[in-house]
């Protein structure tokens, strides 16, 4: 979803982007990811965008954006746990207000800042092997081929309150924001991702080419990608 929000200096570009990669079998995983996406999007839109259409007392307290994102993901977590037991989903969402990106994340989908010559990984994977790498018990090379590399210790659908990572980044001129599932980042090399994004005439075509590259590289998982270029970028 993209729109404009009224700010102190006129209309401010507003965008919400949600990526979820379901787990627990193809059918149940799809249901879990669709449900989580719908709940997260509705909660965030209601709390950050639609409030401008309501009559509110001047100076009324409003939750911080990070709190809104965390609450949204926890609502999705509770709903998936009840309505799709045994299934789960990763979830990475980005709320863009002007050049600032507010991100909430659980699982092993990723958010990247796409710069002219490199990718800056914003999020941290909540996988067992990534945790072992952090502890120095596995190398990156060992983790890439580990039989449990897809096992997550944190995902939407788990019992109890979910710990949600939040981030804030400013997207500089000429940069883009990429959200993608492990079917992309685990298959296509970083240099290829950068080249495809910079050569594509539009975000939609870039995503189509990224998914094609992942499939051609032997990607067997569902592959999802969202590329966001700030207003004014081509």
Indicate whether 9 pLDDT > 70.
no
pLDDT at 61 over 60: no
Q: CA quadruple 188, 192, 193, 199: dihedral positive or negative?
A: negative
Check: pTM over 0.85? Answer yes or no: yes
In this predicted structure, what is the pLDDT of residue 138? 83
Of 164 and 50, the one with more pLDDT: 164
Percent of the chain with pLDDT over 70: 86
> Using one digit for the tens of pLDDT, what is the confidence trace for 71-111?
999 999 999 999 999 999 999 999 999 899 999 999 999 99
SS3 state at 148: coil
Percent of the chain exceeding pLDDT 90 equals: 65
Domains and CATH numbers, the chain: 2-228 (3.60.40.10)
pLDDT classification of 140: cutoffs 50, 70, 90:
confident
Dump pLDDT digits (tens) for 156-186.
999 888 999 999 999 999 999 999 999 999 8
| Three-state SS at 192 | helix
DSSP lists the bridge partners of residue 106 as: 91
> Between 61 and 100, where is the model more confident?
100
Instruction: Give the SS3 label for residue 110.
Output: strand
CA gap 113, 169 in Å, rounded: 9
Beta bridge partners of 91: 20, 106
> Rounded to whole angstroms, how far apart are CA atoms 162 and 53?
31
The candidate with the shortest Cα–Cα distance to 226, out of 197, 187, 201, is 197
Which ranges constitute the DSSP H helices of the chain? 26-48, 65-83, 128-134, 140-144, 182-185, 190-199, 203-216
Residue 151, pLDDT > 80, answer: yes
Q: What is the pLDDT of residue 50?
A: 61
Give the model's pLDDT for residue 6.
42
Residue 177 contacts by C-beta under 8 Å, 6 or more apart in sequence?
Answer: 17, 94, 96, 101, 111, 112, 113, 114, 169, 171, 227, 228
| Highest mean pLDDT of the ranges 25-29, 52-56, 130-134, 224-228 | 224-228
Q: What is the pLDDT of residue 144?
A: 74
pLDDT score for 149: 76
Please, what sign has the CA dihedral across residues 142, 148, 152, 153? negative
Average pLDDT, the chain: 87
End-to-end CA gap in the chain: 18
């Amino acid at each position: 979803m993209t729109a404009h929000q009224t700010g102190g200096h006129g209309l401010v570009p507003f965008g919400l982007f949600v990526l979820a990669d379901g787990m627990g079998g193809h059918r149940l995983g799809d249901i879990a990811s669709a449900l989580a996406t719908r709940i997260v999007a509705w909660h965030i839109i209601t709390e950050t965008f639609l409030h401008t259409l309501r009559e509110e007392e001047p100076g009324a307290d409003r939750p911080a954006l990070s709190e809104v994102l965390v609450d949204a993901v926890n609502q999705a977590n509770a709903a998936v746990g009840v309505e799709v037991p045994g299934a789960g989903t990763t979830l990475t969402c980005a709320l863009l207000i002007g050049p600032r990106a507010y991100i909430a994340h659980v699982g092993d989908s990723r958010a990247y800042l796409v710069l002219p010559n490199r990718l800056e990984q914003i999020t941290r994977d909540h996988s067992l092997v990534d945790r072992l790498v952090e502890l120095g018990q596995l190398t990156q090379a060992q983790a890439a081929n580990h039989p449990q590399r897809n096992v997550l210790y944190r995902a939407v659908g788990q019992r109890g309150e979910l710990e949600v990572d939040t981030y804030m980044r400013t997207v500089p001129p000429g940069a883009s924001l990429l959200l993608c599932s492990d079917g992309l980042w685990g298959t296509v090399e970083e240099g290829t991702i950068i080249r495809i994004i910079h050569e594509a005439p539009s975000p939609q075509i870039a995503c189509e080419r990224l998914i094609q590259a992942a499939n051609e590289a032997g990607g067997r998982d569902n592959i999802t990608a969202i590329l966001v270029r700030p207003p004014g970028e081509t």
